[in-house]
A and B are shown apart, each in its own frame.
Chain A
Amino acid sequence: MITELLPEQEALFPVYVQKWTDIGKNTDRLDPEETRAIVHDFQEIVLLRAKTPVVIVENPIEAWIACNYAVMGHAAEELPGLLKEYFEAEEPPIQVASPVFPYQEGSFSTAIFSYYDYILTELKLDLGEELRKRYEAWERTSKLGFIYPLDNVCIVSQKPLEIHTDEEQRLHRDGGPALTYAGYGDFQIFSLHGTRVERYLAETPGEQLDLAYYHTLKNADQKAEFVRKYGVERMLGLGKKIDSFENYPDEEWWQRSEYELWDMACLFENVPYAPHLKMLNQTTKIWHVEGVSPECRSIPQAINFRLGGENMKIVDIA
């Protein structure tokens, strides 16, 4: 029984994290011959099924539409034409069922493979020939996109065309989609620092952002991304400071978070007073500006409001 690691084995954790993160972010186009070989091994060795024709489509949306046609009895060779017909029709020619996912997501399933790759490679665990063969057939699917192994056909999605991340490896692109697939369905994911946002917030330059949009946002992370992009000082420059952490020298955590209470009534129509609490998130080190109750006239009242009416004193942040 292995109960401890050598220091050099432990030092390799980040290497495996990086290896499988890179595989997850890989955007190489699929080679049809290699894809067929991987799928056929997966079908025969893992699923214990007969080999089927393999159809490669551009993205998970196309894959699901193709699944629907396949289940209706259409042959593999008909699927590309039917997809074209579906997406180019003015009205969808068929009613598509709610998506079901096989959770065989190829390059996106890398978390599980990183775990076993480390164990099998670094600890040289012997799985036995039969289990190793099954595992390796499964692991090879990490070269593909989403996989739908149906009885009569296996539908495989290409991987994304582009994946962009920030320095902390979070899905991120300021100015465009962070993740894009080719093909029909306009498959684009917009994300800023790991927070999914609408196209408008991702694509619009900060200096052109409309403050009215800020008020349509309900999600605190999206609001934080708006503020980060718009510029916290620029945003608050439109308001009036009501209270500041500087008035509470004994409150260590209020000093660290640099709490300020601002009246942002200028952003709203027919609202005489709209207090907002500005604070520096101690974990992410980004500025947040959050609306609080109009009854708040001071920082203690605003913090009390944020804590649901409780008078708690911050002693540490984990």
Chain B
Amino acid sequence: MMRKLCLGDVYLNVFDIRADLARVTQRHISVDLLDRFQEQIAETVHARVTHPFAFQARRLTRRFVKQENTKK
């Protein structure tokens, strides 16, 4: 299914941007500072939004499909 959906390519293309962004940022900003941005900005947003909302939405989608397929 993953291959048919070509979602692996999506992940890789986005990963390419992330790798390029990491290269540029690490060239100009110290790793200590980047770690602070990660901990104090990104991880706070992750804990408030990405983790609770996306995680639960994925979980609920999986549960729904599992329940549906037991009906067949």
With A48-B13, A119-B29 already in contact, the answer to whether A91 and B71 are too (CB < 8 A) is: yes
Q: How many contacts A-B (CB < 8 Å)?
A: 176
- For chain A, residues 71 to 95, give those with C-beta under 8 angstroms from any C-beta of chain B: 71, 91-92, 95
The bracket for how many chain B residues form the interface is: 35 or more
- For chain B, residues 41 to 68, give those with C-beta under 8 angstroms from any C-beta of chain A: 41-46, 48-50, 52-54, 56-58, 60-62, 64-66, 68
Interface: A108 (CB within 8 A): yes
Q: Is the CB of A92 within 8 A of B72?
A: yes
The bracket for how many chain A residues form the interface is: 35 or more
With A3-B30, A125-B24 already in contact, the answer to whether A104 and B41 are too (CB < 8 A) is: no
Q: Is the CB of B7 within 8 A of A21?
A: no
User: What sequence of 0s and 1s flags, for each residue 158-184 of chain A, a beta carbon within 8 Å of any chain B beta carbon?
Assistant: 001001010001110000000100000
Interface: A5 (CB within 8 A): yes
Complex-state Cα separation, A3 to B30, whole angstroms:
5
Question: What residues of chain A lie closer than 8 Å to B57, measured between beta carbons?
Answer: 60, 105, 108, 146, 179, 187, 189
User: What sequence of 0s and 1s flags, for each residue 174-216 of chain A, a beta carbon within 8 Å of any chain B beta carbon?
Assistant: 0000010000010101010010100000000000000000000
Main secondary structure of the interface of B (DSSP, over half): helix
- For chain A, residues 97 to 123, give those with C-beta under 8 angstroms from any C-beta of chain B: 97-105, 107-112, 114-116, 118-119, 123
Question: What residues of chain A lie closer than 8 Å to B4, measured between beta carbons?
Answer: 71
Closest 10 CB pairs of A and B: A24-B49, A111-B46, A108-B54, A115-B42, A97-B1, A3-B30, A111-B45, A102-B7, A111-B50, A114-B45
Question: What residues of chain B lie closer than 8 Å to A114, measured between beta carbons?
Answer: 41-42, 45
Minimum CB–CB distance for A161 against chain B, Å: 13
14 interchain pairs, CB-CB under 8 A: A1-B30, A2-B28, A24-B48, A24-B53, A25-B49, A61-B60, A98-B66, A119-B25, A148-B5, A149-B10, A169-B48, A187-B64, A189-B60, A191-B56
Question: What residues of chain A lie closer than 8 Å to B64, measured between beta carbons?
Answer: 61, 185, 187
Residue of B whose beta carbon sits closest to that of A171:
B52
Complex-state Cα separation, A60 to B48, whole angstroms:
20
Minimum CB–CB distance for B66 against chain A, Å: 8
Q: Is the CB of A21 within 8 A of B45?
A: yes
Interface: A273 (CB within 8 A): no
